[in-house]
Amino acid sequence: MSDKVIKKEELPNVLKILKETYEVFVPVKEKGFYRFKVLEDENKVDLNFTNTRLSPKSLLFPQSERMFEYSLDEADEDAYVIKEPPKDYAPTVVVGMRPCDAKALRLVDVNFVNPEFKDPWWARRLESLTLIGLGCKEPCSTCFCTSVNCGPFNEEGLDVLLFDLGKNYMARAITEKGAQLLKLAGVSEDATSDLNKQAEESKAKAEKQIISHVPTDKLKEKKAIDLFDASFWDEVAFACLNCGTCTFLCPTCWCFDIQDEVNKKKGDRIRNWDSCMFPLFTLHASGHNPRSEKVQRVRQRFMHKLKYYLDKYDNGVACVGCGRCVNYCPVNIDIREVFKLMNET
């Protein structure tokens, strides 16, 4: 399918058509920050954002999710039997996802869907989702996506990629799912070769604007145990408060906890996001804790992203260079510095 054009004034109309078939998510500005929310008024959609503060991972992997339900009422025939409640997996479109966040979903997917086990909730949501990405024509100073197999116009994980070209968007269908969606939305006008050229220029310009780079070339060959025993971890962890902001915002952090919650005679089994920054994460019932020290937990986070993941899946590092953790860390711990320490010492 050749690249298509959507005139900016036609975008509300396109969204309106999509709304008839899909649940549509768009970035919405709230209290100074953008986040993905269900589209209400297609005439008020604002795609002039850098990125959402929270990563969109919660669209597939909600911060809190009911897994099962059960009755604790002895009078019920199926008391104490744990059951899966029905769930809705309506077709959903996300409009305006940044390429780094889409790539992150691909990185996380190998965890949730692996050769032995398939996480049913993640897998079903991913199937129901169509992702319309928006290339970053103005990347910010903390972006370093081009160093980690990604980029401001990276296509991996997206179904459609939009190029913002002034009065028009150029829409590139990346998957069959994306092509079908464009067809359904009535986007049929082919992009002119001139528009195509503009898109390529915009992409090249954005890539050049990314001035932050991290080295990754030696991470693979280093031994995990040597990196684990490296002398720099105390320094990296020194200022850390173990607040968990980095894991909360990170598009590739997926750890979760499972808890039972009971109200009178009904109970739910729920999974909640968890964080390797918290000492409870690894605390045994006996009191033993393999990561009781702050430095062990900080090391775990970086080792997981930049070494264990790399070794386990041979899928690159578990970082897409979005820069969220750099921007929001209250004590300015900078993963770009840790890349350098791990790659070069």
Partner 1 sequence: MPDNPYLPYPVRIQQIITETEDRNLKTFKLGFLNKDDEEQFKYIPGQFCELSMAGKGEIPIGIASSPTEKGFLLFTVNKTGVATKYLHNMDEGGIIGVRGPLGNWFPWKEMEGKNVLVIGGGFAFTTLRSSIVYMLHPENRNRFRDITLVYGARSPGLLLYRKELAEWEKRNDIHVHITVDATDDPDWPYNVGFVPAVTEQKIKTSENSYALVCGPPIMIKFTQPVLEKVGFEPERIIMSLEMRMKCGIGICGRCNIGDKYVCKDGPVFSLAQLNELPKEY
Q: Which residues bind partner 1 (CB under 8 A)?
A: 67-68, 70, 72, 79-82, 84, 111-112, 114, 116-120, 224-225, 228-229, 254-260, 262, 267, 271, 274, 276, 281-286, 290-291, 296, 300, 303-304, 307-309, 311-312
Q: What kind and span of H or E run contains 161?
A: strand 160-165
| Beta carbon nearer to partner 1, 168 or 252 | 252
Q: What kind and span of H or E run contains 49?
A: none
| Beta carbon nearer to partner 1, 111 or 209 | 111
Query: In this structure, what are the phi and psi dihedrals at residue 291, rounded to the nearest 5 degrees?
Result: -125, 65
| Beta carbon nearer to partner 1, 8 or 83 | 83
CB of 64 to partner 1, least distance (A): 14
Here the tokens at position 171 are 């829409």
CB of 60 to partner 1, least distance (A): 13
In this structure, the dihedral spanned by the alpha carbons of residues 139, 140, 142 and 147, taken in order and rounded to 10 degrees, is 10
CB of 87 to partner 1, least distance (A): 11
251 contacts 101 by C-beta, under 8 angstroms: yes
CB of 310 to partner 1, least distance (A): 9
273 contacts 255 by C-beta, under 8 angstroms: yes
- Token match 């209400």: residue? 40
CB of 320 to partner 1, least distance (A): 18
156 contacts 165 by C-beta, under 8 angstroms: no
| Beta carbon nearer to partner 1, 49 or 228 | 228
